[in-house]
Amino acid sequence: MTEPVGMEFPTHFRLRVVGHTADDFAGFILESLLPYIPNLSLEDLEIRPSAAGKYTAVHVSFLAESRDQLDRIYACLSAFERVLWVM
């Protein structure tokens, strides 16, 4: 598969995952991503609650190695009911 114009790997990538607020949401996202991003740690996550507190966005910054890696990450996270959006 050819890469989209303008996207070269490896590249720094910022992913946003949104779900309903729960105490373990950020930890759940971290654990879910470790098979795809082995060096990921809590320090790489930025956690932002919505204004009303109903939702939590977890921003993940990492070095993406390939388009395949990104596709697998999106597929994994999108499969979970607790994940509402992956951007």
Distance separating alpha carbons of residues 44 and 16, to the nearest angstrom:
12
**Tens digits of residue pLDDT in 10-60:** 999 999 999 999 999 999 999 999 999 999 999 999 999 999 999 999 999
Distance separating alpha carbons of residues 82 and 87, to the nearest angstrom:
15
pTM: 0.89
CATH fold for domain 11-86: Alpha-Beta Plaits (3.30.70)
pLDDT range class, residue 4, cuts 50, 70, 90: low
User: From the centroid of its chain, how far is CA 13?
Assistant: 10
